[in-house]
Amino acid sequence: MAARAINGVFTIGHPNMDWLFKFPQLDPDVLLTVKRAIDGSLRALTRDYGDAIENFFYPLQRVLIFFEAVITGAPWPLIVLALAAIAWFAARKWSVVAAVVGTLIAIGLIGLWQDAMKTISLVFTATIFSIAIGIPLGILMNRNRRVGGVMQTVLDVMQTMPPFVYLIPVVMLLGIGRVPGFIAVVIYAIPPIIRLTDLGIRLVDKEVLEAADAYGCSRGQKLWKVQMPLAMPTIMAGINQTIMMALGMVVIASMIGVQGLGLNVLQAIANQYFTQGIFNGFAIVGIAIIFDRISQAYGHRLQKHRGAAHE
Amino acid sequence: MDTGCRSIGVQRMNKGDASIEIRDLYKIFGGSPRQYVQAVRDGLSKAELGKVHGHILGLNNINISMPAGKIQVVMGLSGSGKSTLIRHINRLIEPTSGSIIIDGRNILEMSEVELREFRRNQTAMVFQRFGLLPHRTVIDNVTFGLEVRGIEASKCRQIAMRWIDRVGLIGFEHRYPNELSGGMQQRVGLARALSNDASILLMDEAYSALDPLIRTDMQTMLLELQAELKKTIVFITHDLDEALRLGDRIVILRDGSIIQQGDSQDILLRPADDYIERFVKDVNRARFIRIDAVMDRAPCSEKASLPRLKSGTTLEVAAKELTNSTYDQAVVVDGSSEPLGLVSLRQITAALSSPAETKSSA
């Protein structure tokens, strides 16, 4: 009402003020042409290079299948033992080991063992890839200011772009299956490890760096003997975040063919199976807690000797 | 064999001339420092440079000759440029203009690789807040400089253990820095610097973060080590007592300029201006002034009965000796017992009041 009244006032006074209230958008024909051109070229790309791209990612697919086969194929007591051992070596605390074993048994008891293993294998491989790509990128970002600026923007886009949007080209290029799901998870989960590697290196005490320079460290020596070890607790926090985000992505990734707990949740949504949703949801939470406790305890252990120096 | 060759971890005692010549050194902080050097040379003040041109004058026309094998103290309050100055010697800070000559080479013209070699082999640095690597144990901190130079691990540890022993940290070599007290951490810093076997030792307010008793201990240790090692030490401090105790030569900085250079006697007896006088006022003069500075240089061979005092004795000790004897005069003798002059109790007492006090009572 009010808007129309104001509009009325303006139009009455100045019949040609219409342009003020209607944003001057591009001609619809032009917009249509642009959209068609982009979609068309992407389709052409898919048509012409689809096979090449799929071949390029074939080794990745083999790796994913291999890990999934190993983890889902292994006898369950072995998996429980292995995760308990990892928990012990990372945390050195029986409470953490007990929590890990308890959670795994609970997941098994509610009949979700196979699906949970599929999810763990995906999150595990996605995390390893994210670390392998993310840490060097974080170092690069820290070293080169210009690269850092560009990367900052790219990371902002990656973190705010709704995943569904970049799922579209990924699916167009690679179809549905493990590899596109994996790529979507990595895109979603990699920003924290890159950012926190950069941050960790930046937070290293200035006087320690000065000492490294004063004793004649080369850039490489400074990085590996001083900066990386001291940035490690922060980098561990980044790894922790990356794992959590990868887990958070499994439901969305299930929409493009990733199997595991996420797919069950998706089915539960579609069919309104409340209990199935809750069970799978809790299994995801349980896995998240396992990974979180292990990586955090390891981070804490790294930090033991790094508190502020005595005055 | 002389002691130099046998002493700990020292393979090359004499690697060229370790004296440091600083000439016409200027440092201006800001966006385009070079264009203001000439103006500063022509007398542009620090205040005006800051207010009108937005640049900060860090060092202004610094000229110092630091002799090899001596302790050169650079003293000044915070903001005087002393930490900036010491960082020019190993070029942690780039100068705006000037030269620093060590062993015939201008540090400020070295390439990156040359500079790295110079830092690895010729200088070692001790930091105010220790600059230790918190993720490494004591021994791994001490070996750091050697490791950077690419010396094999077993040899590093051998050298490091000797220096850990020398600074009194045996038994702590596998502790982490944050498990040690401040004084012990600085011993680690000192061991790290000494194990590097560099002829120049840069100490940036090395003892300022320590409490007074520990600081005195560390000063004593440094003097003992220096008597044996004869390094060129550049020692930064804001504490005049420390400067007088350690310094063979002292430079006093203020607002980036040198106000006075000399030995402790010059500073105490002939302060260059009011600023230094105010510093000097609170110092225990009896402990730092030596009888050489107040004695009469007269031939005195006939006064054989008088007590004898060694050249370099402080007024404190001399006054005590004289009051314990029945005389009020003593003969000052040098190391080989040759008489140098006469000193009286009256001269000693007169030197105890500072010039500032004399002025205000007049």
Taking one residue from A and the other from B, the number of pairs with CB-CB distance under 8 angstroms is: 86
Residue of A nearest to B131 (CA): A208
CA dihedral A204→A209→A212→A216, nearest 10 degrees, is 140
Q: Which secondary structure element, helix H or strand E, spans residue B214, and what is its range?
A: helix B212-229
Cβ–Cβ < 8 Å for B312, B292:
yes
Rounded to whole angstroms, how far apart are CA atoms B352 and B179? Answer: 44
Summarize the confidence of residues A163-169 as an average pLDDT.
86
Average pLDDT in chain A: 88
Contacts of B181 in chain A (CB under 8 A): 310
Q: How many CB atoms lie within 10 A of CB A52?
A: 9
Q: List the single residue in A211, A229, A305 with the smallest CB-CB distance to B125.
A: A211
- Amino acid sitting at position B255: D
Rounded to whole angstroms, how far apart are CA atoms A74 and A77? Answer: 8
Rounded to whole angstroms, how far apart are CA atoms A117 and A102? Answer: 16
H helix runs in A203-304, sequence order? 206-214, 219-221, 228-248, 250-254, 261-271, 274-303
Closest approach of A224 to chain B, Cα-based (Å): 11
pLDDT confidence band for A175 (50 / 70 / 90)? confident
User: Residue B125 above 90 pLDDT?
Assistant: yes
* pLDDT the model gives residue A309: 38
The tens digit of pLDDT for each residue in B149-173 reads 999 999 999 999 999 999 999 999 9
Higher confidence at residue A86 or residue B339? A86
Rounded to whole angstroms, how far apart are CA atoms B169 and B220? Answer: 16
Q: Is B140 on the interface with A (CB under 8 A)?
A: no
Closest approach of A138 to chain B, Cα-based (Å): 21
Q: β-strands B339-344, B329-333: how paired? A: antiparallel
* pLDDT the model gives residue A214: 95
Output the CA angle B136-B207-B120, nearest 5 degrees: 50
Cβ–Cβ < 8 Å for B165, A254:
no
Summarize the confidence of residues A116-123 as an average pLDDT.
93
Q: What is the DSSP string of B92-119?
A: SS--SEEEEEETTEEGGG--HHHHHHHH
DSSP state of A310: P
* pLDDT the model gives residue B191: 95
pLDDT confidence band for B358 (50 / 70 / 90)? low
Nearest one of B101, B103, B64 to B249, comparing CA atoms:
B64
Q: Do A307 and B133 touch (CB under 8 A)?
A: no
Q: Quote the radius of gyration of chain A (alpha carbons, Å).
A: 25
DSSP state of B308: E
φ, ψ of residue A66 in degrees (nearest 5): -60, -50
The tens digit of pLDDT for each residue in B250-308 reads 999 998 999 999 988 888 888 888 888 888 888 888 888 888 888 887 766 556 678 88
Cβ contacts of B268 within 8 Å, gap of 6 or more: B244, B280, B283, B285, B288, B289, B354
* pLDDT the model gives residue A6: 55
Q: Is B174 on the interface with A (CB under 8 A)?
A: no
User: Residue B71 above 50 pLDDT?
Assistant: yes
Cβ–Cβ < 8 Å for B85, B253:
yes
Q: How many CB atoms lie within 10 A of CB A311?
A: 9
* pLDDT the model gives residue A31: 92
What own/partner pairs with CB < 8 Å and gap ≥ 24 does A36-44 have?
A: A42/A169, A42/A172, A43/A172
Nearest one of A17, A23, A212, A277 to B124, comparing CA atoms:
A212
φ, ψ of residue B25 in degrees (nearest 5): -85, 130
The number of angstroms, rounded, from the C-alpha of B240 to the middle of its chain's C-alpha atoms is 11
Q: List the single residue in A216, A309, A310 with the smallest CB-CB distance to B148.
A: A216
**Crossing angle for the helix pair A28-56 and A163-174, to the nearest 10 degrees:** 60
* pLDDT the model gives residue A124: 92
Q: Is B307 on the interface with A (CB under 8 A)?
A: no
Summarize the confidence of residues A33-41 as an average pLDDT.
92
Contacts of B206 in chain A (CB under 8 A): none
Average the pLDDT over each of A216-230, B96-110, B122-136, B333-347 and give the range with the smallest value. B333-347
* pLDDT the model gives residue B305: 75
Average pLDDT in chain B: 86
Closest approach of A132 to chain B, Cα-based (Å): 23
Half-sphere exposure for B160 (CA within 13 Å, toward CB): 24
Q: How many CB atoms lie within 10 A of CB A182?
A: 24
Strand order in the sheet with B97-102: B56-66, B20-29, B97-102, B105-106
Q: Is B212 on the interface with A (CB under 8 A)?
A: no
CA distances from B247 to A164, B9, B239 (A): 71, 25, 12
The tens digit of pLDDT for each residue in B206-252 reads 999 888 899 999 999 999 999 999 999 999 999 999 999 999 999 99
Nearest one of B108, B104, B110 to B20, comparing CA atoms:
B104
Q: Do A214 and B180 touch (CB under 8 A)?
A: no
* pLDDT the model gives residue B90: 92
Q: List the single residue in B123, B131, B185 with the smallest CB-CB distance to A211.
A: B131
Closest approach of A126 to chain B, Cα-based (Å): 29
* pLDDT the model gives residue A182: 92
The tens digit of pLDDT for each residue in A236-247 reads 999 999 999 999
User: Residue B43 above 60 pLDDT?
Assistant: yes
* Residues linked to residue B205 through DSSP beta bridges, in sequence order: none
**Residue located via tokens 């800070």:** B93
Contacts of A229 in chain B (CB under 8 A): 133, 135
How much is the pTM?
0.81
**Residue located via tokens 């000193």:** B343
User: Residue B357 above 60 pLDDT?
Assistant: no
ipTM of this predicted complex? 0.82
Residue of A nearest to B87 (CA): A214
The tens digit of pLDDT for each residue in A49-108 reads 888 888 899 999 999 999 999 999 999 999 999 999 999 998 888 999 999 999 999 999
Rounded to whole angstroms, how far apart are CA atoms B184 and B163? Answer: 13
The tens digit of pLDDT for each residue in A263-281 reads 999 999 999 999 999 999 9
**Crossing angle for the helix pair B182-195 and B153-166, to the nearest 10 degrees:** 130
User: Residue A11 above 80 pLDDT?
Assistant: no
Structure tokens at B35: 């264009």
Secondary-structure percent of chain A, ordered helix, strand, coil, rounded to 5: 85, 0, 15
Interface of A with B (CB under 8 A): 207-208, 210-211, 213-218, 221, 225-226, 229-230, 232, 305-311
Closest approach of A288 to chain B, Cα-based (Å): 29
* pLDDT the model gives residue A203: 93
Structure tokens at A187: 């895109």
Could you tell me the sign of the dihedral formed by the alpha carbons of A155, A161, A162, A168, in that order? negative
DSSP state of B290: B
Q: List the single residue in B92, B134, B177 with the smallest CB-CB distance to A214.
A: B92
